[in-house]
Structure 1
Amino acid sequence: MNPLKIALLLFLITLGFGLAAQEDVPGAKDHPLLSRYPGSHIAWYQTKKYVAYDLATGPITRYRHIEDRQEVAGQLYRIYYEIEGAPAEISIDEVYADYLRAFERAGATILNQGLRPKGNDFGGSQWVGVALAPQSPPNSPSSKLFAGTSSSGGKFALAGRIDRPTGPVYVAIYGERHSNKLVNYLVDIIETKDAELGKVSLNPEYIMRELTERGTVSVYGIKFAYDSAEILPDSEETLKQIAAFLKANPGIKLYVVGHTDNQGEFSYNHRLSQRRAAATVKALEDRHGIASGRLLSEGVAFLAPKATNKTEEGRALNRRVELVLRP
């Protein structure tokens, strides 16, 4: 065969393999704020409408402890990219520099940054396990991060905040040259949405999924008067959604658990959380026809926080009612 034709054939075969390797997982997409590094594909993708994210912004200061953290809450996007078959000329320094440039162009405030850091430093090998422990995605490809082979060519981490009229957006990127054939990085983006607290849909499918996967579902749409167990009128839609779930699943029984923030004495908050849980049960029974005995109320005050109580955003996440599956 003509050598030119052989070369062309080999090029087309190589191109075909490259294109196949670059396919994203179904349903995945880049976030509008940040494009991917050229040649990357999305190997894992997750988005959640409202979660608390424990953003580490400092180094490890003592055993498995990072002092500098920020509790942020909102819609979370987790996008894990891989550059498979990455040639040696794609250094982790270049990927890092490209994202740092993107941060600067977006007017981001850099909260911390680290290129080729040591183990306990921001972005280091030991650091990432501690940093991501509160929200590390189990059994996902991103578990490859910071577990590179002996040919690993460096690591990096970036954390920043982009201020927008709708609220700040936090971005954290963790990356490495995993091996001589793979560069990988995880992009976490949190769009803070304080105004949407309590408006997350509690349709029956969502409640069932949360109870099945977690055994509990947090409810923020049941509002109470200040320092009171009086349920406010704008809670009615959430109560209707819970009642619809219970009527569609007559075999399910739940604990209704009240939670507070840590403002005030424990004994006071304990009583308040119990009264609020009891008021929720009573409203579902009296106004929405849920049979007596299916729901049992309890209150735990501030013993099971979902976020820090040092900020108003965190305290808002901690003031909630939880539906817990009864055996």
Structure 2
Amino acid sequence: MQLHHCRLFVLLLLITGPVLAQSDIEGSSDHPLLTRYPESIITWYETEKYFEYNLATGPITGYRYIAERDTVAGQVYRIFYDLPSTKEEVSIGEVYIDYKRAMEQAGMTILAEGLVPDGGGNKIGSPQWIGIALASQQPPGGSPASKLFAGTATSGGTFTLIGRLSQPEGTTYVVIYGERHSKDLIGYLVDIIEVASAETGRVSLDPDYLAGELESKGTVSIYGIEFDFDSATLRESSYPVLEQIAAYLTQHPDKNLYVVGHTDMPGTLEYNRTLSHDRAAAVVQALENDHGIATGRLLPDGVAFLSPKSTNATEDGRALNRRVELVLRPN
């Protein structure tokens, strides 16, 4: 998504000081929409052409459960910053207030916010809340960003800020999680999602992408497998996507998968469960018959509309819900 220059908001933080970028990891940069807190250094950076981001905006409502969630999808940028500082030099509250003020001045709608100075409880922005909110999209273990889940001084405080910027050119979400990791270090993760349609997923779909998603998450949603209306007949437009799945399976002969069909809401549960299963079975049959994938490596199933990615109240939401998922099976 290209942001039109005349509507581009560059968020300038209010505390002045030099920005030290010379120690940033290679290939990283601030997002054009959002600068860093002064003295911060990028220690982890990742961008993906199409990513389904699970956005939690409400309080904890059950055991490790947040009910108010939605899926926003598109180009994602994930940037983790280290801010070397003692409590006397910079407090976690100062970082939180500066980012909140900058987001508001840029015209963003704040969807969720929380500053927990003592790092306790389960309020929005607390360590427990952040862990649940990020459970399905934690940064890789061992990466500098994983320290967000292993603070040694959570009593130094944590925070969360989630904002949405709506423009004629498109919608962008900004999500920030921060904590005082130790007496000498603040760490904060900035996730920026530039919303785009599900079809963008075809760009990222290749064997390496599939391998990365399945290795890190155990599942991957596939968009671009299309069927005739109300049918399990595959359209020709699906063939390039099936070729990429077959390439992954050929390159990873030790991997076996469930192929799971998902539908949107219209129709009865029984009808959609049958349709979703039949569509998954059609995918398995095509991979076996047309691409030589051994029988038994793929098992089809269908769950109808019981596991939505988004709301069924809008066409964009229904498009996200109509999908095929690949799920790793234990060997």
TM-score by length of 1: 0.78
Q: 1:289 to 1:200 in 2, by over 3 A?
A: same
Name 2:71's counterpart in structure 1.
71
Q: Is the 8 A contact 2:281 2:300 kept in 1?
A: yes
Q: 1:48 to 1:255 in 2, by over 3 A?
A: same
Aligned counterpart for 1:276 among listed residues 276, 279, 282: 279
Q: CA deviation at 1:111?
A: 1.2
Q: CA deviation at 1:34?
A: 0.7
Amino acid across the alignment from 2:240: E
Identity among equivalent pairs (%)? 55
Aligned counterpart for 1:194 among listed residues 186, 197, 205: 197
- The secondary structure found in structure 2 opposite 1:107 is coil
Unaligned residue ranges in structure 1 (runs of 5+): 1-17
* C-alpha distance in structure 2 between counterparts of 1:124 and 1:202, whole Å: 35
Q: CA deviation at 1:246?
A: 5.2
Q: Is the 8 A contact 1:262 1:309 kept in 2?
A: no
Q: Is the 8 A contact 2:71 2:309 kept in 1?
A: yes
Amino acid across the alignment from 1:66: I
Amino acid across the alignment from 2:97: A
* C-alpha distance in structure 2 between counterparts of 1:249 and 1:169, whole Å: 36
* C-alpha distance in structure 1 between counterparts of 2:258 and 2:179, whole Å: 44
- The secondary structure found in structure 1 opposite 2:81 is strand
Name 2:137's counterpart in structure 1.
135
Q: CA deviation at 1:183?
A: 1.6
Q: Is the 8 A contact 2:308 2:321 kept in 1?
A: yes
* C-alpha distance in structure 2 between counterparts of 1:281 and 1:147, whole Å: 41
Range 291-300 or range 46-55, more displaced = 291-300
Aligned counterpart for 1:307 among listed residues 306, 309, 330: 309
Name 1:94's counterpart in structure 2.
94
- The secondary structure found in structure 2 opposite 1:163 is strand
TM-score by length of 2: 0.77
- The secondary structure found in structure 2 opposite 1:170 is strand
- The secondary structure found in structure 2 opposite 1:199 is helix
**1:161 is aligned to 2:141:** no
* C-alpha distance in structure 2 between counterparts of 1:207 and 1:161, whole Å: 29
The C-alpha deviation readout for 1:88-114, integer Å capped at 9, x for no partner, is 232223222221232123221111223
Name 1:14's counterpart in structure 2.
none
Paired residues for 1:97-112 under 5 Å: 97-112=97-112
* C-alpha distance in structure 2 between counterparts of 1:174 and 1:116, whole Å: 12
* C-alpha distance in structure 1 between counterparts of 2:287 and 2:154, whole Å: 60
What is the aligned length? Answer: 308
Aligned counterpart for 2:234 among listed residues 231, 235, 246: 231
Q: CA deviation at 1:41?
A: 0.7
- The secondary structure found in structure 2 opposite 1:157 is strand
Unaligned residue ranges in structure 2 (runs of 5+): 1-18
- CA radius of gyration, larger in: 1
Name 2:12's counterpart in structure 1.
none
Q: Is the 8 A contact 1:169 1:189 kept in 2?
A: yes
Range 108-117 or range 276-285, more displaced = 276-285
* C-alpha distance in structure 1 between counterparts of 2:75 and 2:134, whole Å: 17
Q: Is the 8 A contact 2:74 2:198 kept in 1?
A: no
- The secondary structure found in structure 2 opposite 1:145 is helix
- The secondary structure found in structure 2 opposite 1:261 is coil
**1:40 is aligned to 2:40:** yes
Paired residues for 1:137-286 under 5 Å: 137-139=139-141, 140-145=143-148, 148-149=151-152, 152-214=155-217, 216-245=219-248, 255-284=258-287
Q: CA deviation at 1:243?
A: 4.3
Aligned counterpart for 1:320 among listed residues 305, 311, 323: 323
RMSD over equivalenced CA pairs, Å: 3.4
* C-alpha distance in structure 1 between counterparts of 2:198 and 2:106, whole Å: 24
Q: Is the 8 A contact 2:176 2:188 kept in 1?
A: yes
Q: 1:62 to 1:205 in 2, by over 3 A?
A: closer
* C-alpha distance in structure 1 between counterparts of 2:262 and 2:83, whole Å: 44
